[in-house]
C-alpha cells in the first residue's frame, strides 16, 4: 500500500516531504527544488495537496501545489501523479508537473506555462 507520508526525492534531486496526511486524505509539507532549477537561492517551499483514499485503492493518485513565494514572480507548480508499489515492495511515485507564471496581457499567455 502506498502512503505519501515521509520524504521523497526525484531523479533530478528535488525533494518533497509530506509531514501531515489527514484522515480526509489531504496533506501538507515542503518542497525543495533540486539543482535542475539552477537557482541556489531558493529555499524550501510549502506544499498542499490531496491523495485518493489509500484504504480504497492500493496505488492511489495524488496532486499537490507549490507556490514559489515571491509575489512579483507569481509562479505556481501543480504536480499530478500516482504512487505505485514495485515488485520488491518499494513505493514509487510517477509524477507530471505543470508550472504557470502570471502574465500582464492575454497576448503573453503563450509563454506563461511550462
CATH number of 6-111: 2.40.128.30
**What is the pLDDT, as a whole number, of residue 94?**
93
- The rounded Cα 1 to chain-centroid distance in angstroms is 20
Residue with cell 502506498: 2
Residue with cell 505556481: 76
The structure's pTM equals: 0.81
**What is the pLDDT, as a whole number, of residue 82?**
95
**What is the pLDDT, as a whole number, of residue 17?**
92
pLDDT in tens, 51-67: 998 788 889 999 999 98
With DSSP H G I counted as helix, E B as strand and the rest as coil, what are the percentages for the chain, rounded to 5? 10, 50, 45
Contact 36, 13 (CB under 8 A): yes
Consecutive 10-residue averages of pLDDT for the chain (114 residues)? 86 87 89 68 83 86 85 79 92 91 87 85
Round the average pLDDT of the chain to a whole number and report it.
85
Q: Please report, for the chain, the start and end positions of each structural domain, with discontinuous segments joined by +.
A: 6-111
Q: How far apart are CA 93 and CA 91, in angstroms?
A: 7
Amino acid at each position: 500500500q502506498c502512503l505519501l507520508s515521509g520524504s521523497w526525492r526525484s531523479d533530478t534531486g528535488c525533494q518533497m516531504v509530506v509531514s501531515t496526511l489527514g484522515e480526509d486524505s489531504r496533506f501538507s509539507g515542503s518542497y525543495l527544488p533540486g539543482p535542475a532549477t539552477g537557482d541556489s537561492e531558493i529555499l524550501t517551499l510549502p506544499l498542499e495537496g490531496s491523495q485518493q483514499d489509500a484504504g480504497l485503492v492500493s496505488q492511489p493518485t495524488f496532486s499537490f501545489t507549490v507556490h514559489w513565494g515571491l509575489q512579483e514572480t507569481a509562479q505556481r507548480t501543480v504536480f499530478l501523479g500516482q504512487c505505485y508499489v514495485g515488485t520488491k515492495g518499494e513505493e514509487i511515485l510517477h509524477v507530471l508537473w505543470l508550472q504557470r507564471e502570471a502574465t500582464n496581457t492575454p497576448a503573453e499567455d503563450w509563454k506563461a506555462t511550462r
